[in-house]
Amino acid sequence: MKALTANRLDDGEVVFWNKGAWVERFADAELFADDATGEAAEGQGKSQPNTVIDVYLIDLIESEGLWAPLSFRERIRALGPLNHPTHGKQAEGGAAIEALRHAAGASRSTGRVNLIKRK
Amino acid sequence: MYQYDTIDKEFLADRAAEFKQQVERRLAGEITEDQFKMLRLRNGLYLQLHAYMLRVAIPYGSLNATQLRKLADIGRRYDKGYGHFTTRTNLQFHWIKLREAPAILEELATVDLHAIQTSGNCIRNVTSDPYAGATAEEIDDPRVWSEAIRQWSMLHPEFSHLPRKFKFAVTAAPKDRTAARVHDIGLVVRRARDGTMGFEVIVGGGMGRTPYVGPTIKEFLPANRLFSYLDATLRVYNRHGRRDNAYKARIKILVAALGAEEFRRQVEEEWEKVGPGADMPDTEIARIRAAFSVKAFDTLVNRSEAFETAKAADPAFARFARNNLKPHKRPGYTIVEISLKGIGDTPGDATSDQMDAVADLGERYGQNDIRITHEQNLVLPHVKLDDAHAVFQGLAAAGLATPNINLISDIIACPGLDYCALANARAIPIAQDIAHRFADQDRAELVGELKIKISGCINACGHHHVGHIGILGVDKKGEEFYQLTLGGSGAEDAEVGKMLGPALPADRVTDAIDTIVEVYLRERADGERFLDTFRRTGVAPFKEAVYAEAH
Amino acid sequence: MPKLIRIEDGQFVSADDPFTHVADDEGMPPGDVIISLTRFSAEGDALISQGRAVGVRIEPDEEVEALAYDLPKLAVVAVAFPKYRDGRGFSTSHLLRQRFGFKGEVRAVGEVLREEANFLTRCGCDSFETADGSSPEQWAHAANRHRHVYQRASDGRIPAFTERAES
Ligand code: HEM
Ligand code: SF4
């Protein structure tokens, strides 16, 4: 399973793709079961260079029955800095945030799909 | 302190106006991200994990209260009420919006602050001695030269597109508080027998992937020839430094590849050709010097009764005085170090309220002079001993009176994976965990001077190579691991630390530190710091103890 | 005729460019030409003796010192910036003006962007083959954005320390 992420140009906010729109919560992200739909979305996302920057697909794993980014780096992006639990997306709390907090998996680069491909 | 004149102020205003237009063009889609990225980086604006990060330069780590209040105000209005002081004596705001960045730079310019050349392959903010002008050790005020270098380097026509970033440190005291030997250029003020002033010029130190302690390229450079010599050095680097591989592009790689001897020869040859025409006029140096020398010290006696009484009555203050107060050159004065390493806090972070508190104390008791150290702490360099207790109380009320300067919980840590897009692992929780373990101040004092430095990746922003104990975050099969090095130093006895052994998982790091400390306490001879013991015993006893327990 | 941006009497203007860049493996066209350092070593004198204006293109890894004796014969030195980031050309232009006293045209070629206008003009470039389609007005704006400069440089602007000493 994959999701598409980026940072919003205007304010740098971490955003996720959902059917043509960019949303702020990972829980609202569109999930791609197959590579083709993910890559199609990535193409669309990259065609909006004045809305978002640094568009890429990330790998997901299951955590507490929900999906979470595989890499720790991407989970931190979906949560906020862990030294300040009230900063960033994690402040909202709830099951989706807890699932991200408890997920385990790769720490950094392996979450970024196109980096794996490049190897 | 140096006061910006109309020229300096208009320069910053012009720069802010320029950036404003560039941001407008980007937001209107007139320029691409590729084109814009270098423009924003030239103004210290990075994209981090969660938002943009703005790195504000604090030239040679020196601020007045108005400036610090402005930083606090910006933290409150444009960030989440805090900022992060870095090992390069800059301040980073971690939650900046691109559309607001121009307004922030405009506001900074009103108090003579900026973010120019805090990123990119140019000459960066100069590090200097946080005790400058206050310590009896120094033979000159290094801020004079730092300010001159600031001016010379601002939008330098020839040296703003170097192969890689370029960092200066300037110190004038035998005790090096700037890490001069691990900078691209370290300048140490020296006085010749006949009294003339000059510099020992150290070139090609650095950290990152390939750490080097820089060799001395010139034992004594007459002070009035500084800028022609810098021209020559930078020109040799600009022309011959590698540009094919970013990891091999720092001047340290050029110096190492040529050998210090050959590098010196090339610089000297170029310097001959440059000639004194490229030096800064003595009159300008004198003007800058004059700005730093006006300080109104009262004539006081060495011993302050108020201070002695307070120490006797307040054990917490006595402990603070023992660890955080440093000798001042004037009788009856002291240097106050303010730790940004509260137990369990994020190293280097200060809330806006804390910044305001320090600004108030600095204004009221510290001649309106506030410094940042490369160890991510603050300093009030000129406090009367009579006022030290009041300062302590003010700091305590702001949660800033942690009495741990140079102790094991005074840890340097970079932002690591909690913020940084380049990180392999987190640095902050490791620092917090170690600090908690050594929260017992008696034990920390028993251990004495021990500098732990943590980086979240090999770029070494947290100076781990030169930590007495260095901790480097690595990504091992997708998990956070930490590589320990021992015996490094960034001071006058600079040395790159030695690897202890295989990297450890996060939950074993603090235990390992504890074990290392126990070995040190067992092995140390009278009066030895951790570093001294390590240098005597070598890595073996530490390695044995840490890895013996692993099984 | 192709256009470039040139500084004339302190103004940025759009000007005709009479020079043709000729690569090492190309035939020699008539008229004014800019050629590589290698080609200049072999054919330079012959070309000049034909009465045409000759310019030499200096790549970042070439030492401008190699041209020192020929400079008085040259109409143009084209300083190459294959990437705007590659700053060796700034040293090349600086040396041309300051060390060798070259009075001819110093032309920036390659990835020449208006955002670099200030650095380029300060190092002594006085004509620009731009890579970003920018206009002379935009160049003038970018080059003059700062009312003050801190260094002596080839553009002759008064550095801050002189401004102060004179005020
Ligand atoms: C956006 C965040 C940051 C990025 C992208 C970044 C990037 C880098 C890189 C790539 C290097 C290696 C340079 C080289 O070896 O050529 C480096 C070194 C360094 N950075 Fe950072 N850094 C960041 C944050 C920081 C922070 C927060 C500090 C201070 C705490 C800092 C201070 C330093 C220092 C002292 C060095 C090592 C000295 C040197 O070799 O230059 N940086 N940084
Ligand atoms: S050391 Fe690495 S993780 Fe830490 S701030 Fe520097 S680049 Fe980021």
Per-domain residue ranges of chain B: 6-110, 134-292, 305-397, 412-550
Q: Between the CA atoms of B318, B324, B327 and B328, what dihedral angle is there, to the nearest 10 degrees?
A: -110
Residue B75 backbone class (left: φ over 0; alpha: ψ -120 to 50; beta: rest): alpha
Minimal Cβ distance to B478: which of A49, A88, A106 = A106
User: Which residue of chain A has the CA closest to B430?
Assistant: A83
Give me the residues paired with residue B482 across strands: B473, B504
List the structure tokens of C17. 């460019």
CATH class of domain segment(s) B6-110: alpha beta
Q: Which of the 8 DSSP states describes residue B425?
A: S
The percent of residues above 70 in pLDDT, for chain C, comes to 100
A32: closest CA of chain B, how far (Å): 23
Q: How far apart are CA A11 and CA A88, in angstroms?
A: 13
* Residue B498, phi then psi, degrees to nearest 5: -105, 140
- pLDDT the model gives residue A106: 62
Q: Is B242 exposed, middle or buried (0-12, 13-18, 19+ CB in 10 A)?
A: middle
- pLDDT the model gives residue A96: 92
DSSP chain A: -EEEEEEETTT--EEEEETTEEES-GGG---BSSHHHHHHHHHHHHT-TTTEEEEEEEEEEEETTEEEESSHHHHHHHH--TT-TTSSGGGG-SHHHHHHHH-----SGGGBHHHHHH-
Residue A117 has pLDDT above 50, yes or no: no
List the structure tokens of C105. 């045209």
Count of CB atoms situated within 10 Å of the CB of B362 = 27
Q: How far apart are CA A1 and CA A37, in angstroms?
A: 11
- pLDDT the model gives residue A108: 53
Q: Domain residues of chain C, as ranges?
A: 3-166
What lies within 8 Å, CB to CB, of B503 at 6+ separation is B474, B476, B481, B482, B483, B484
Q: How far apart are CA A3 and CA A107, in angstroms?
A: 17
Q: Can you give the pLDDT of all 551 residues of chain B as single tens digits?
A: 899 999 999 999 999 999 999 999 999 999 999 889 999 999 999 999 999 999 999 999 999 999 999 999 999 999 999 999 999 999 999 999 999 999 999 999 999 999 999 999 999 999 999 999 999 999 999 999 999 999 999 999 999 999 999 999 999 999 999 999 999 999 999 999 999 999 999 999 999 999 999 999 999 999 999 999 999 999 999 999 999 999 999 999 999 999 999 999 999 999 999 999 999 999 999 999 999 986 789 999 999 999 999 999 999 999 999 999 999 999 999 999 999 999 999 999 999 999 999 999 999 999 999 999 999 999 999 999 999 999 999 999 999 999 999 999 999 999 999 999 999 999 999 999 999 999 999 999 999 999 999 999 999 999 999 999 999 999 988 889 999 999 999 999 999 999 999 999 999 999 999 999 999 999 999 989 999 999 999 999 999 999 986 55
Minimal Cβ distance to C119: which of B5, B121, B160 = B160
Asked if B180 contacts B188 with a C-beta cutoff of 8 angstroms, the reply is: yes
Q: How far apart are CA C77 and CA C106, in angstroms?
A: 5
User: Which residue of chain B has the CA closest to A9?
Assistant: B98
Q: How far apart are CA B187 and CA B281, in angstroms?
A: 19
Q: How far is CA B453 from the centre of its chain?
A: 12
- Residue at B496: amino acid letter: V
| Contact across the interface for B29 and A50, Cβ inside 8 Å | yes
**Closest ligand (CA of B164):** 1
- pLDDT the model gives residue B293: 82
Residues of B whose CB is below 8 A from C94: 157-158
Q: Can you give the pLDDT of all 167 residues of chain C as single tens digits?
A: 889 999 999 999 999 999 999 999 999 999 999 999 999 999 999 999 999 999 999 999 999 999 999 999 999 999 999 999 999 999 999 999 999 999 999 999 999 999 999 999 999 999 999 999 999 999 999 999 999 999 999 999 999 999 999 87
Q: Name the E strands within B352-457.
A: 370-372, 378-384, 412-413, 452-455
User: Which residue of chain C has the CA closest to B160?
Assistant: C87
Residue C3 CA: distances (Å) to CA of C52, C127, C134: 20, 11, 12
Chain B residues whose C-beta is within 8 A of a chain A C-beta are 26-27, 29, 32-33, 47-52, 80, 94-99, 346, 415, 417-419, 423-426, 428-429, 432, 475, 477-480
Element holding B490 (H helix, E strand): none
Kind of pairing between the strands at B498-499 and B479-486:
antiparallel
| Contact across the interface for C164 and B152, Cβ inside 8 Å | no
- pLDDT the model gives residue A110: 43
A33: closest CA of chain B, how far (Å): 23
Distance B86 CA to ligand 2 centre (A): 11
Chains A and C touch (3+ CB pairs under 8 A): no
Count of CB atoms situated within 10 Å of the CB of A44 = 13
- pLDDT the model gives residue B353: 98
Q: How far apart are CA B93 and CA B58, in angstroms?
A: 13
**Closest ligand (CA of B473):** 2
**Right CATH for C3-166 from 3.20.20, 3.90.79, 3.30.450, 1.10.3470:** 3.20.20
Q: How far is CA B374 from the centre of its chain?
A: 2
pLDDT band at A64 (very low <50, low <70, confident <90, very high): confident
Give me chain B's average pLDDT, please: 96
List the structure tokens of C23. 């690569």
Residues of C whose CB is below 8 A from B278: 152
Cβ of residue B459 lying under 6 Å from some atom of ligand 2: yes
**Right CATH for B305-397 from 3.40.50.720, 3.90.1150.10, 3.90.480.20, 1.20.1090.10:** 3.90.480.20
Local structure of C58: helix, strand or coil? strand
- Residue at B109: amino acid letter: A
Please give the CATH architecture assigned to the domain spanning B134-292.
2-Layer Sandwich (3.30)
Q: Name the E strands within B150-238.
A: 168-171, 185-191, 197-203, 216-222
Q: Ligand 2 atom closest to Cα of B473? A: 3
Q: Is B156 on the interface with C (CB under 8 A)?
A: yes
Q: Is B235 exposed, middle or buried (0-12, 13-18, 19+ CB in 10 A)?
A: buried
- Residue at B454: amino acid letter: I
Asked if B353 contacts B72 with a C-beta cutoff of 8 angstroms, the reply is: yes
CATH class of domain segment(s) B412-550: alpha beta
Asked if B329 contacts B136 with a C-beta cutoff of 8 angstroms, the reply is: yes
What ipTM does the predicted assembly reach?
0.97
* Residue A64, phi then psi, degrees to nearest 5: 50, 40
Query: Alpha helix locations (H) across B427-529?
Result: 428-437, 441-447, 506-523
In three-state form (DSSP H/G/I as H, E/B as E, the rest C), the secondary structure along B280-333 is CCHHHHHHHHHHHHCCCCCCCCCCCHHHHHHHHHCHHHHHHHHHHEEECCCCCE
- pLDDT the model gives residue B550: 54
**Closest ligand (CA of B423):** 2
- Angle B430-B431-B437 from CA coordinates, rounded to 5°: 90
- pLDDT the model gives residue B321: 98
With CA atoms as reference, report the closest residue to B461 among B24, B89, B155. B89
For the stretch B445-484, what's the b/e string if a residue is b when 16 or more beta carbons lie within 10 angstroms of its beta carbon?
eebbebbbbbbbbbbbbbbbbbbbbbbbbbbbebbbbbbb
Q: Is C145 on the interface with B (CB under 8 A)?
A: yes
Kind of pairing between the strands at B82-85 and B45-47:
unpaired
Mutual angle of helices A95-102 and A72-79, in 10-degree steps? 150
Q: Is B326 exposed, middle or buried (0-12, 13-18, 19+ CB in 10 A)?
A: middle
Q: Tell the residue number behind the tokens 């009035």, with chain if given.
A: B224
